[in-house]
Amino acid sequence: MTISTRGAGKAPAVLVLEDGRIFRGRAYGAVGETFGEAVFNTGMTGYQETLTDPSYHRQVVVMTAPHVGNTGVNDEDDESKRIWVSGYVVRDPARIPSNWRSRRSLDEELASQGVVGISGIDTRALTRHLRERGAMRVGIFSGETLAGDAALLARVQQAPEMKGADLSAEVATAETYVVPAIGEKKFTVAALDLGIKGMTPHRMAERGIEVHVLPATATAEQVYAVNPDGVFLSNGPGDPATADLTVIKAVLERRTPLFGICFGNQLLGRALGFGTYKLKYGHRGINQPVQDRTTGKVEVTAHNHGFAVEAPLDKVSDTPYGRAEVSHVCLNDDVVEGLRLLDQPAFSVQYHPEAAAGPHDAAYLFDRFVSLMEAERA
């Protein structure tokens, strides 16, 4: 294990934003170059889950927590098979990781997976810049000799934008796999993998659900071939405006119980005829207050979204699949955080009830899904 001293001995690195703002620091993880959309995450804990969340594909994540890597990297907390962020930005990396489960340092893990990062920069100033100007493209470049700033900026400005990006198929499973129910099997669910996190099927399995995780490109025939009691739409990277809605519409036509989270919420919204739009800088962290308007209760929740559904907050909407309403709202900024159909068993939330990482306040949503499937069977 390497013990780093505030980046001493690491190559120089530079972070270049598409609007020309530049931060200089030291390499963290792999040395090289990378591009993506610069976004900030306010979680004080859970960096391993963040790094391995496929929804972060093509994003450069800036951690607002000043110390990152304190608990190292373990063999249990990955949410998928690899790190998906395209770059990683921290202020002070841990010099000595310390935790009973730690197997290696975060610096070593980033390097071994080829993830280019930067440390030693003023992440507070960078976050304030992104909050004022909005999420934007960024490049991180590290090495002993770097091109001039103008040349680096020109390369950042050529990188692809997140708006219009269709990314689910790049992160999803190529083959269907089954996560068995824990204990007695009560239901079968077909889960469309648009970038699913490992904890999500686990939360269903804990409730007696056998989960068939299908590729993002699965057809309605493939979904119904597993004879599902319910269909689940996962989280995932990219712009929801690019996604194909054929399968979701088929599920709504057949009135099969449906539950979606994050990207799944955006796709349900679009299938109902609502629009989606890009938020200025998104919600990413594990302490976002959301109100469940069906009960009035407030929950503290885990978020990772840069897009949101545009739906009226104070009226029931008529959609091709019956009446729909906004069931959940973010108390920071009134962004739509959940949808519910009133005439058939379908609902979704914009945030992460699987809570990896994050508080478990929203776990009741998996129980709601079970109740819908129970009611359908009765």
Contact set with ligand GLN (CB under 6 A) = 55, 235-238, 262-263, 304-307
Q: Label residue 184 exposed, middle or buried (CB < 10 Å: 0-12, 13-18, 19+).
A: exposed
Q: Which is nearer to ligand GLN, 31 or 349 (CB)?
A: 349
Q: How far is the CB of 265 from ligand GLN (least distance, A)?
A: 8
Residue 238, annotated ligand binder?
A: yes
Residue 347, annotated ligand binder?
A: no
Q: How far is the CB of 262 from ligand GLN (least distance, A)?
A: 3
Residue 304, annotated ligand binder?
A: yes
Active-site residue (options: 262, 283, 330, 337): 262
**Antiparallel, parallel or unpaired: β 230-233 and 187-192:** parallel
My answer on whether omega of the bond before 174 falls inside 30° of 0, hence cis, is no
Sign of the dihedral through C-alpha 179, 346, 241, 262: negative
Q: Which is nearer to ligand GLN, 119 or 235 (CB)?
A: 235
Q: How far is the CB of 35 from ligand GLN (least distance, A)?
A: 17
Sign of the dihedral through C-alpha 136, 141, 142, 148: negative
Residue 263, annotated ligand binder?
A: yes
Q: Which is nearer to ligand GLN, 23 or 84 (CB)?
A: 84
Verify whether residue 352 is a known catalytic residue. yes
Instruction: Give strand ranges (E) for the chain.
Output: 12-17, 22-29, 33-41, 59-63, 67-68, 87-89, 92-93, 116-119, 136-142, 177-179, 187-192, 209-214, 230-233, 258-261, 275-292, 298-310, 317-319, 322-330, 336-341, 346-349
Q: How far is the CB of 229 from ligand GLN (least distance, A)?
A: 24
Residue 139, annotated ligand binder?
A: no
Q: How far is the CB of 24 from ligand GLN (least distance, A)?
A: 29
Residue 91 has which token pair?
Answer: 């202020």
Q: Which is nearer to ligand GLN, 235 or 319 (CB)?
A: 235
Tokens 């469309």 identify what position?
Answer: 192
Residue 40, annotated ligand binder?
A: no
Q: Which is nearer to ligand GLN, 255 or 360 (CB)?
A: 360
Q: How far apart are CA 206 and CA 219, in angstroms?
A: 27
Q: How far apart are CA 215 and CA 132, in angstroms?
A: 38
Active-site residue (options: 129, 283, 303, 352): 352
Verify whether residue 262 is a known catalytic residue. yes
Helix (H, G, I), strand (E, B) or coil at 57: strand
Verify whether residue 305 is a known catalytic residue. no
Tokens 């979904």 identify what position?
Answer: 223
Known binding-site residue numbers for L-glutamine? 55, 236, 238, 263, 266, 304, 306-307
Which residues are part of the catalytic machinery? Answer: 262, 352, 354
> What residues form the annotated binding site?
55, 236, 238, 263, 266, 304, 306-307
